[in-house]
Amino acid sequence: MTSPALEPIRRALEAAGPAAAAEALVETLRERGDYDRLFDALLIRARVKLGVPTVKPTSFADVPDDKQAAFEEAYLAAAREVGKLLLDSGSLARAWAYFRTIREPQPVADALAAIDPTNLDYDRTNELIEIALHDGANRVAGLRILLASHGTCNTVTMTDQVLPMMTPDERRQTAAMLVRDVYDALAANLKRDVESRLAGITAPDSIQELIADRGFLFENANYHIDVSHLHSTVRFARALTPADPELALAIELAEYGSKLDRQFRYPADPPFDEYYEAHLAYLKAVADVDREASLGYFRDRLDKETDERDRQIIAYVLVDLLTRCEELNEAAKVAARHLADLEEPGGFSFSSLCGKAGRIDLLRGAAEKADDPVRYAAAVITERGQGSGGGGQGKNADG
């Protein structure tokens, strides 16, 4: 006699055949919440419909070529169904195993984004960080969980590690999160310092107002936050856009950094060797605050640089900044002088910039100078009205 768990399958088989037995198996496991076995059951049901062996339900090896596509669709559908059931039951790690296998991370990414990171126990936190950060299911959510559980130091370090794997929008979200975190901590520390020194006053809330005309806050190499956290966060802030309210906060962070004792203003590669001064110019240009003067900072750095390698690095930053400011014509002209040979897969492309700026003449000139027949042909054909990459001439276009 079969057990109560198996009896529905036996009865269905005797009454209506293999398809009914497979359906009974699916319903039994779904009702029991036995989702890992349900995955196999769904594939057994698909195999019965396709008329292929059911002994190894997840294997593709015994599926005939003419039925591979149909079985693959059934496999994907089963993984999606089981993955969703596991997500709905709170078993995110088990759900990830299915969605990761079929290369559909979005449901898990959405689930990670919805998690409140403030009420997680130690094991749950580490599990989510592993999936979100190390497996890459949702790096922004992973960093948010890491920040809530492990603090700023660990999060800044991890951000540097995962930044190259992030999309521009993920970098922007991460920068916004860290700017707010560092800003709030720094503002609170500054406010306490000001109120402790100036009895009876209520200090303002913004960093800009807190440090205005208060040079005493920086005397004797004083600082109010881990300067390495500040340094990194200001750099991350270059990913912010004018639409991000955190951009204004990042400018205030850079202003604070510019007042620190020189030993805490760690230099970086040109044009950020005067670290906070350069970042102030960069962030203000993006925010359209004193934009012309801010762009002028980088123009001057480029004009005065004598080292050829550093000139190219500075030009790269200036071209990127001009492009972000929609000064495409000037960006193309600077690139023609310093970056004409640069065609990065998935990155900067001189040819693409010339197309967007409407300066195909610059592309043709660079091709002639380099004796490059491919780019020359692309340029002259575009000038004849074919093969255009589109794009206007940007602001201040000239001949």
Which pLDDT tens digit goes with each residue over 262-310?
Answer: 999 998 999 999 999 999 999 999 999 999 999 999 999 999 999 999 9
Which residue carries 């057994």 as its tokens?
44
- Copy the structure tokens of residue 57: 């339900």
* pLDDT of res. 391: 45
pTM over 0.85: yes
**How far is it, in rounded angstroms, from Cα 236 to Cα 268?**
13
pLDDT (tens digit, 9 = 90+) per residue, 361-377? 999 999 999 999 999 99
| pLDDT given for residue 392 in this prediction | 44
Among candidate residues 371, 367, 363, 370, the one with its CA nearest the CA of residue 391: 363
- If one counts every other C-beta atom within 10 angstroms of the C-beta of residue 103, the result is 7
Stated as kind and residue range, the H or E segment containing 350 is helix 350-357
Give me the phi and psi of 48, to 5 degrees please. -60, -45
Residue 350 is predicted with a pLDDT of 96
Q: Which two tokens stand for residue 376?
A: 């020359």
User: With a cut of 50, which residues of the chain have pLDDT below it?
Assistant: 1, 389-397, 399
How high is the pLDDT of residue 397? 46
What single-letter amino acid sits at 290? D
The half-sphere exposure of 314 on its side-chain side, counting CA atoms within 13 A, is 24
CB 172 within 8 A of CB 239: yes
Mean model confidence pLDDT for the chain: 93
What sections of 237-290 are H helices per DSSP? Answer: 246-258, 275-287
Contact call for residues 95 and 107 (beta carbons, < 8 A): yes
- End-to-end alpha carbon distance in the chain: 91
Q: Would you state the structure tokens that stand for residue 43, as one six-digit string?
A: 């594939």
| 309 touches 378 (CB < 8 A) | no
